Structure 1
């Protein structure tokens, strides 16, 4: 049991070191040697847990995506009204991005760069399935515009990354009023 915990501790340290380096230096300036140094393990130890750097990045992405999904769909009930369900998910995502800044920043980088392989990206998309299902149900009921889920995401969820980024730079404050206005703008952009 103690050996297993030690292994999990090293693996977690490697993931945390990678998260930190990628967020601060970018994917290409996060060599395995730096990751090992920050995690306080030998470089060879990385290969006990991960095949290579790509595998390490992919696994980090999938773990963070799972955590994101857990937050996004907390208390979600697919039997609620479309707008109410979407509002719950939207605010859950907003709070995740505001409170889990490192993880949210990493996911934004993953969305905007080719550092995640296609297979992992497809696995990551599965974590959003309840939202995609909600939008499809909303479209079938004539509540949500009949447009691509990519457009729905672009107009509703993606702006949260911009707003939280502006807050981190002290350019904009996401007050409760601003969050409410942002949600209303998101909903107005997709409702019929």
Structure 2
């Protein structure tokens, strides 16, 4: 049992080191040797858990995306109205991005690089399925604009990454009032205008 825990700890250390180094240096300036050094394992140990750097980064992405979406959907229930459901999910996403900065920053990096392969991106999108299903229901009910889910995400969720980075730099402080204003802006951007 101790050997299994040691193995899990090594893998987790590699994931943690990958997140930290990618956040600080970017993908291309993060060699496997640096990841191993930061994780306090030999470079050869990485290959016991991952095929190569691409595999390590892809699996890290999927793992972090799963944590993100588990957090985002923890209080969501499919029986909620579209508006209440969106507000619940959006505010949990905001909490995650502000409280889990390292993970959120890593996901933002992944969204803006070709480093993550297509199967891993598709796997990551699957984790967002409850939000995509909510938007589809909202479109059918005439509540959400009938546009691409990519556009809905770009207008409603992506601005949170910008605000997260601005807060980290000290340029902006997201307090309760600011979060409510940001949510109202997000909702306004995707809801269908009243006729």
TM range (shorter): over 0.9
Structure 1: tracts of 5 or more residues without a match? none
**Structure 1 stretches (4+) deviating beyond 6 angstroms?**
none
- Give the Cα separation in 1 of the matches to 2:122 and 2:24: 26
RMSD in angstroms over aligned alpha carbons? 0.5
Name the structure 1 match of 2:176.
176
Aligned twin of 1:127: 127
Deviation of residue 2 (structure 1)?
A: 1.1
2:5 is aligned with 1:10 = no
Q: CA deviation at 1:106?
A: 0.3
Q: In 2, Cα distance between the equivalents of 1:185 and 1:6?
A: 47
Could you give the per-residue CA deviations for residues 104-133 of structure 1, whole angstroms, max 9, x where no partner exists? 000000001111001100000000000000
Q: Is 1:36 aligned to residue 36 of structure 2? A: yes
2:118 matched to which residue of 1?
Answer: 118
Deviations 1:133-154 (A, max 9, x none): 0000000001111011001001
Give the equivalent residue in structure 2 for 1:101: 101
Range with bigger deviation, 1-10 or 91-100: 1-10
> TM-score when scaled to structure 1?
0.99
Partner in structure 1 of residue 89 of structure 2: 89
CA distance in 2, matches of 1:78, 1:140: 15
Which stretch of structure 1 is more off in the superposition, 87-96 or 27-36?
27-36
TM-score normalised by structure 2 residue count: 0.97
Distance 2:116 2:140 in 1: 33
Cα offset, 1:9, TM superposition? 0.6
**Following the alignment from structure 2 to structure 1, what is the Cα–Cα distance between the partners of residues 157 and 115?**
21
- For residues 68-109 of structure 1, what are the alpha-carbon distances to aligned partners after superposition, in whole Å with 9 as ceiling and x for unaligned? 010110111111111000000000000000000000000000
How many residues are treated as equivalent by the alignment? 192
Q: Which residue in the other structure is 2:152 paired with? A: 152
1:102 & 1:182 partners in 2: Cα distance?
A: 21
